[in-house]
Amino acid sequence: MFSLFGKKKDLDILKLLAETPMCHELSRREIKNLRKVVKVKHYKKDEIIFRKSDPGLGMHIILRGAVDITVKKDSKEVVTLAELGETNFFGDVSLLDESLRTANAISRTDDTVLVELYRPDFLDLIHTKPKTGVKILHRLSKIIVQRLRRTNDELITLKKKFDE
């Protein structure tokens, strides 16, 4: 379990960052530099982290707790697109693009703790530590390409079922 007090808190955050796929190419020093720009925020159960159509301000990594990613199907029905737990991340596309959010993110547990990287801080990191920024951008692009390929495969499968 993660401890969020004193120096142990920083060690937990450094470990979480090192385990996050977008940071797999970073050295220890680069992860420490990234730690300087991330924020830690606590959310209560059912607290909204962001809503669909909100500006995309940054990405979130779950240090503790759980988050649901949802959309409204109609005025009554809510569809859960993803149930995310510790070490999962979301909102990463907003580091690259200032588009509006495409879904809601809601804390599923009491005292959900997120490590958050905001776009302005990320852009500043790219300018002050370009090698680190390029490594993160490279990993993010790989992650997004993997998701796109997976989505394309799912669409092909759905289309085949629909055409039958």
pLDDT at residue 10, rounded to an integer = 74
Q: Partners of 114 in the beta sheet?
A: 41, 62
Token pair 């420490």 is found at: 32
pLDDT over threshold 90, residue 74: no
Q: Please state the rounded mean pLDDT for residues 6-15.
A: 78
Closest CA to 101 of 160, 45, 30, 52: 52
76-94 pLDDT, tens digit each: 899 999 999 999 999 999 9
Domains of the chain: 6-163 (2.60.120.10)
Interhelix angle 28-35/130-163, nearest 10 degrees: 80
pLDDT category, 131, cuts 50, 70, 90? very high
Contact (Cβ atoms closer than 8 angstroms) between residue 113 and residue 40: yes
Q: How far apart are CA 57 and CA 127, in angstroms?
A: 18
pLDDT at residue 81, rounded to an integer = 94
Q: Please state the rounded mean pLDDT for residues 16-36.
A: 94
What average pLDDT does the structure give for the chain? 92
Contact (Cβ atoms closer than 8 angstroms) between residue 84 and residue 67: yes
pLDDT > 90: percent of the chain: 85
- DSSP β-ladder status, 78-84 and 89-90: unpaired
pLDDT > 70: percent of the chain: 95
> What pTM, to 2 d.p., does this model score?
0.87
